[in-house]
Chain A
């Protein structure tokens, strides 16, 4: 119980929230890193997944990629990139590692969503004389959107988690509060940092769940 009280004291101490190592600055770093990497990985993964899903090719790639993503330790990739020449360019090694781990859920879910579109609907659209592009953007993408968004949600939560581990490899973000706590042998700070990270991760998940609830019924879909 003592640890809970001391962690609470750490969290309620205003001095811990301000400055270079303060919570607000670390939170801003974490948000910035997560948002930038989510944008980058969506830009890379979604077009590929939508085109592959539209053409019905590369299914094995989409499935195997998520298996590979699970088997390769995030921490190992972070450290490996840090020791390559890329590691010399500030946050780039962290950004690349984060994007690499956000791509598999995006790609797999978008691909599965595209393949899950009712073939009758696709045939009807083709019968109406729709071109490939019209079919992709006007029919398949809207129908696949619920699963695409599920992929974005999983990727966002994954990014928050990976950005936390990045603190072990010298990256910024809320994880720094935890690693600094370990270096100071301060259990209250470690626990307080962990609480902040956990709440942040749950909030990110909550925002996506809430957005889905508020979205129109056709967007919610039956899947995911």
Chain B
């Protein structure tokens, strides 16, 4: 094991242009380039941590949103009086700009990741409730009646017939909600919990171009990857759709 040596140690002092000051390294970090390999190698730990935080924030909030949206959609479908308020309130929540949403939640949760997660959950509710409801309403009455005729109870009807048939619409909503959450989580930087948004925010304050571009590109890549992943899950969960496409 040899100790890592700096490349400048091997230089003779006479090679330096100024005898008093060391020459700054002439790499892309010093030049503040947009694209910088040095940035990736020297800050990979920072990038990994921010990416993981970003994935946690968005993953957790979409999951929580889904857990809340299913009963809300079922309630809105079952009880006529509930449909208006559920759809109305979630639409109003969706209209509130993200920066205001996180700020409104600040007194409730303080400066914590919960502010960002709660805000993202509220946003995903609109998209998820609407799509689940549309999916359930799109289930053919024939399928429902056939299941009832076969002696299916309400719970079994829901789990074995209605939800699987509603799955394409539900997954479409889930994909939009996830992609939106990945993008909106960056605004969480205002409370210090924005995942990659934190890097964009600090990069803005220090005019660090490589950091801003790298974090932005990673954000978009996460959104695309999440979208493709959910599309794959949807294909796996609905094999009958693939058979139908092939038959066409």
User: Which of A's residues lie within 8 Å of B, judged by CB?
Assistant: 3-4, 67, 70-77, 79-80, 82-83, 157, 160-162, 164-165, 167-169, 175, 178-179, 181-182, 187, 190-191, 193-195, 197-198, 201-202, 205
Contact = CB atoms under 8 A, between A and B. Distances in A.
B95 A70 contact: no
Given A71-B179, A73-B197, A190-B106, A160 B186 contact: no
Contact of A164 (B99, B176, B179, B209): B99
Contacts of B95: 157, 198, 201-202, 205
Interface stretch (B140-148, B199-207, B238-246): B199-207
26 contacts: A70-B179, A71-B227, A72-B219, A73-B184, A73-B197, A73-B216, A73-B220, A75-B186, A75-B187, A79-B200, A79-B212, A80-B212, A83-B204, A83-B209, A157-B95, A161-B98, A162-B97, A164-B100, A165-B99, A178-B99, A191-B103, A194-B103, A194-B106, A197-B99, A198-B97, A201-B100
Nearest to A168: B190
Given A71-B224, A74-B183, A165-B187, A187 B107 contact: yes
A75 B207 contact: no
Contacts of A182: 190-191
A87 to B, nearest CB: 9
A13 B106 CA distance: 21
Contact of A76 (B92, B97, B100, B216): B216
B117 interface: no
Contacts, number: 127
B114 interface: no
Contact of B96 (A165, A167, A178, A198): A198
A157 B93 CA distance: 12
Q: Which of A72, A76, A77, A182 has the most CB of B within 10 A?
A: A76
Interface string B171-215: 000001001101110110111000001001101100101001101
Contacts of A70: 176, 179-180, 183, 223
Residue among A75, A175, A193 facing the most chain B CB atoms (10 A cut-off): A75
Nearest to A202: B95
B103 A82 contact: no
Nearest 6 Cβ contacts at the A-B interface: A3-B107, A194-B103, A161-B97, A76-B216, A197-B100, A71-B223
Contacts of B106: 187, 190-191, 194
Interface residues of B, number: 39
Given A73-B220, A191-B106, A201-B100, 10 more contacts: A71-B179, A71-B182, A72-B220, A73-B186, A75-B187, A79-B200, A161-B99, A164-B98, A191-B103, A201-B96
Contacts of B216: 72-73, 76-77, 79-80
Given A71-B183, A194-B103, A202-B92, A168 B97 contact: no
Nearest to B94: A157
Contacts of B190: 168, 178-179, 182
Contacts of A74: 183, 187
The residue among A67, A72, A194, A201 with the most chain B CB atoms within 10 A of its own CB is: A194
Contacts of B107: 3-4, 187, 191
Contacts of A194: 99-101, 103-104, 106
Interface string B61-84: 000000000000000000000000
Given A70-B180, A191-B106, A167 B97 contact: no
Contact of B97 (A67, A160, A190, A191): A160
A2 B91 CA distance: 28
B96 A82 contact: no
Contacts of A197: 96-97, 99-100
B99 A175 contact: yes
B33 to A, nearest CB: 12
B220 A71 contact: yes
A44 B220 CA distance: 25
A168 B100 contact: no
Given A73-B183, A80-B213, A169-B204, A193 B103 contact: yes
A178 to B, nearest CB: 5
Nearest to A203: B95
Most buried by B among A73, A160, A168: A73
Nearest to B207: A83
